[in-house]
Structure 1
Amino acid sequence: MPVIAVTKERQAGETRVAATPDTVKKLIAAGYSVVVEAGAGAPSSYPDADYAAAGAEMASDPAAAIGKADILFKVRGPVAEEIAALKADAIVVGMLNPHQDKETLQALAAKGVRAFTMEFVPRITRAQVMDVLSSQANLAGYRAVIEAANAYGKVMPMMMTAAGTVAAAKVFVMGAGVAGLQAIATARRLGAVVTATDVRPAAKEQVESLGAKFVAVEDEEFKAAETAAGYAKEMSPEYQAKQAALVSEHIRKQDIVITTALIPGRPAPRLVSAEQAASMRPGSVIVDLAVEQGGNVAGSKRGEVVETEGGVKIVGYANLPGRIAADASALYARNLFAFAGLFLDKEGAFAPDLEDEILKAALVTQGGAVVHPALAG
């Protein structure tokens, strides 16, 4: 019976866990045995007793958990002591941050293990249940609005009281991907007046379906700005100048701006300049969801709330899903449970098929080397 180990997350600030008592039960039912390091679920409010009741064997330290494991489940990449404890033919599965955390990848390769990074799971129908980028971005978009509301010195909805009327907050969401759409929906539920922008024309319908207004220069170039595969085309300098002017004028009138633009393997694009931030009223808030990849907002700092000279707060908290760790862990653990099913054949035997398109896409180290073509060099 193949063994899955789940250990504490040892990278700074990580509060999530890679399996919950619920997914432990499901993994055992699927034919795995599960070893959980004591305290692994505590930051996510999952006590050891619940893991034990679900059928997990509890281990006192990481070496005891990992030493017998065929598979190690992680949220972030394992640290040196965990890598040292791995069997040479083990499998590691997690969000390994392969474009930025090259040191961990090299250490995993040197150990000889097969490592799969969940960020590379292809976005195909069969893999939707394994899509960690979507499951975690959805929660990040929600939490971004909660953090904005907390930093904002006024209420979000319009309030009509005996003492007078309080105007609704104006929220502008930049980027209408998974995180952006959830931010729009959450801000709307809190009663804000919401607008949003995106470089993809198809996003307009999604934004408007959530009750927000779409902001863009909608000329003929914009209408043709999407490839047949659904990706944005590069816009002309003339269009970019018109769009920048429109966005600058719009930002100036907003109470809250939330930026969500990320490009895998590349620094986050700059969406809000220092001049645009300075144009906002004192007490306004900007939340930068891309701070871990360099930031969408000039002046944002990872892990900090920076206040400009003009009194605008720029929120740069890293790992927003980790601020709602119980739900983030539950969703991530279900992603991993589905992924673990790919290691079993039709009879339930442990036989990973590395020609499976999902496993092939997510494999980053094997045979002592980093093997993914996107990481070459």
Structure 2
Amino acid sequence: MTSEIQNQESHFFDYYDFLGIPPAAPPNLIYLAILKIEKSLKDKTFSDEKYVANVKKNLANIYDRLLSEEEKRLQYEKEWLDYYFPRDQYQTNIKSMKLNSHNSTLLSTGLKEKSAPLVKEPKKNEIFDYSSDFSYLMMCDRPKERNVFFLDTEQEIHLPPYSDYIHFKKDQFFLSTHGEVKVSIINDALGKHVICSTASKEIPLHIGDRMEFESGTRLILRGFYTKPATNTATKKWGIHLVQENVILPLEENKNYVFGRNTSDIRSLSFDEDLFCFVNIGRRERSISRQNFQMFHHAGDWYLKDLGSRYGTTLDLDHHNKFETLIGGSIMKLEIGRIRLGYDKSYLIEVNEIEKLEKATPLEIETYDYTTIYDIPLF
């Protein structure tokens, strides 16, 4: 979203984008997101009083639409879907979808900066080469066959077994269909359900998108940062897994993948010396098997969502609202908390390693030269 508060009478207002939480979030998460913004209003001084008044007005509207009555919240969820993914029974309006999604922070791809409300949205400062810093793959899930193939960002990739193809441009893939076979594109975290039954060009894809063809073929798009670290960080970072009471120091030469069960991707041809797989929250079924990635790039640590089902929500100390990474988006790591799962109740604290309190020592297991952290259950 832009930093300006939109006029609700003339334009659809995205409450989820305003709060920084996934669409169709549960009421307790909506309430937590409101409290985060209200605390910022109370603790900080803002020169633009009119802007602050508009923020308070929008929070009051959110209380009414999303927290007062379940019927109102469900109606808003329908309005949200109709706005971002408008369709009749057989076909999504691709042109309107791309136009309406353009100003959405939640639906944006690539690197995200601190977002509104209560700050002027900074210019996007891209520091990644999305065609070479990342590796992309398609997980093919056919009725009697499962396989994975890596994607080339330099050429068109034709999807089996049809003449539809995807290609890479700027920071994401796009799908072009010939309309021979109906295809649905689904992403739970984005609330995305695109239906294509006619020829369509350049349908934007997000990491975690599931393409389902009428024949039963399912293709799932994944993407990982795979470049070794080249610069040294000025701070030594660590994370505290609150539920397990475990501290993990972050090593700059390691690329961390966090999830409930990372075994699905361990067998892929990733650099065994670079990647470290961390199994967390194994009792939390709403945490994805590969939820997010932490990596060091150009002197800083970054966090990337891996197409998780409910997104990766950041509750950062110096941000005035939650920041939710969805569909492969990225944000610079800062002091604060990472919230995972449907209601974001699974917490990971992020800070400089010496500022984290002592906790349970972490046992390291190595299989075939790949580092795996199996966090014990308590």
**TM-score interval, smaller chain:** under 0.3
TM-score using structure 2 length: 0.24
| Larger strand percent | 2
Greater C-alpha radius of gyration: 1
The structure whose RCO (Cα within 8 Å, separation 6+) is larger is: 1
TM-score using structure 1 length: 0.25
| Larger helix percent | 1
